[in-house]
Amino acid sequence: MSGERLALIIILSSLFVIFILNFRNFKIKFFIFIFSFTFIILLNLYYLSPSFNSRIQQLYLIITNFSDSPWFRLYQSGYLAFKSNILFGVGLKNYAIFCDNQLIDPLPEIHRKHPFCSTHPHNLYLEILSETGIVGFLLLSLTFGAFFSSMITKIKRLKDNKIYKQYKALLFGNIFILFIYLWPIKTSGRFFTTWNGSFFWLNLGMALLITKDFYKKDK
């Protein structure tokens, strides 16, 4: 009802994944009821709410003609900012300043329907690459890779641990949110300077804390 298209897609996909992961615990009739109920609500919103209908149609146009969308323009400026300094980027929080003052818009002014610059490129990976370059991107990737590798290793050791079974749903919920956040093709808020990033760091911290506690008690 709010018109948040990406949030709606994430919620629906999350529910689907939860169902798949817990298939044995669900009754088919219950799942069919929930699916039908959700579908009916969305269908009613589509036909009865002009704003919802408009947002869905805009989403369809963006997907089918992405190169003519505002997101493509911001992704393009993020990529060009990254190309200007491939190794170290333009500096944290400097994308907007660099884009406004130094980037040249490749489109002629007559064809500029959407803004070329913003506060950030609206994509997690382009933000990191444009502001920290390949060096910063690799350092962050190695850090997060080490975190996930550590968690996976500890989870494998704790399959029969009672505490692990008790907090398993919370742990995998945290990890699932992290993977949603890292989904490469979605739009995103600023990673380092807004509350959007807090969702990532909070869930990463909780996942690390849970696996750390499991590991200590298991030893």
Distance CA 116, CA 99 (A): 8
**57-82 pLDDT per residue, tens:** 888 888 888 888 899 999 999 999 99
Judge if 125 and 212 occupy the same domain.
Answer: yes
Distance CA 143, CA 99 (A): 28
What single DSSP character describes residue 116?
Answer: S
pLDDT at residue 215 above 60? no
Judge if 88 and 150 occupy the same domain.
Answer: yes
Percent of the chain whose pLDDT exceeds 90: 27
Q: Which domain holds residue 58?
A: 1-64
Q: Counting Cβ atoms within 10 Å, is residue 70 exposed (0-12), middle (13-18) or buried (19+)? A: middle
Distance CA 98, CA 84 (A): 10
Indicate the pTM of the whole model: 0.78
Distance CA 74, CA 117 (A): 6
pLDDT at residue 29 above 80? no
**pLDDT reported for residue 1:** 65
Q: Are 211 and 171 in contact (CB under 8 A)?
A: yes
**pLDDT reported for residue 22:** 66
Residue with the larger pLDDT of the pair 197 and 102: 102
Judge if 120 and 41 occupy the same domain.
Answer: no
**141-183 pLDDT per residue, tens:** 999 899 888 888 888 787 777 777 788 878 888 888 888 888 8
**118-142 pLDDT per residue, tens:** 999 999 999 999 999 999 999 999 9
Residue ending a domain, among 23, 48, 64, is 64
**Matching residue, tokens 């060009």:** 80
What single DSSP character describes residue 119?
Answer: S
**Matching residue, tokens 């919620």:** 11
- Total domains in the chain come to 2
Judge if 109 and 149 occupy the same domain.
Answer: yes
Judge if 36 and 71 occupy the same domain.
Answer: no
**pLDDT reported for residue 26:** 62
Judge if 116 and 156 occupy the same domain.
Answer: yes
Residue ending a domain, among 64, 83, 98, is 64
How does residue 10 score in pLDDT terms, banded at 50, 70 and 90? confident
